[in-house]
Amino acid sequence: MRHALIAAFLVAAGCTPQDSPSETASVSRDSGRALFAENCAACHGPAAKGSGPLATGLKTPPDDLTRIAARRNGVWPRLEIMSIVDGYTKRTNPRDDMPVIPALTEGPLVDFDTGNGITKQVPARLVAIVTYLESIQSPPPTSYVP
């Protein structure tokens, strides 16, 4: 009887649907959209074009975040964007115009492929917002760098 229960459990566990990569990306993109609305839209605007309600009071106008890849000849620089969003670049390139947003670097960590096949643990919220920003590029990126 015990072996039958174990076998039944293993069969049931094997039948559990797993998220496909596209479903996982969709969840990440959707949570990234919500995080953007909560943490970034006040300056960058709800459409991420740099026209948020606080934009007029800033010394440096917020960037149009839908054109990041276009300004880089179609290249999507994932790690560069992550380092701007998480505040890392403020150490070497101090800017008053882009705040560090601690909420984006807190919470659970996820495995993230840095582009060379090596995965690192990074904040899930950071991955989500960068995935969302990638999804709103106009035109879409034609190439990627880590």
Q: What is the pLDDT of residue 40?
A: 95
| Domains observed in the chain | 22-145 (1.10.760)
The model's pTM is: 0.78
The pLDDT confidence band at residue 8, using thresholds 50, 70 and 90, is: very low
Q: Which of 30, 24, 52, 26 lies closest to 40, judged by CA?
A: 52
Choose the most confident range, by mean pLDDT, from 44-53, 54-63, 86-95, 96-105: 44-53
Kind and range of the H or E run holding 131: helix 124-135
Q: In sequence order, which residues have a C-beta less than 8 Å from that of residue 52 and are 6 or more positions away?
A: 40, 41, 42, 43, 44, 45, 46, 62
In contact, 47 and 34? CB cutoff 8 Å: no
* Digit-coded pLDDT (tens) for 15-68: 333 344 444 555 688 999 999 999 999 999 999 999 999 999 888 899 999 999
Report whether pLDDT(120) > 80: yes
- In angstroms, the Cα distances linking 29 to 23, 95, 137 are 10, 27, 13
* Runs of H (alpha helix) within 40-102: 41-44, 78-85
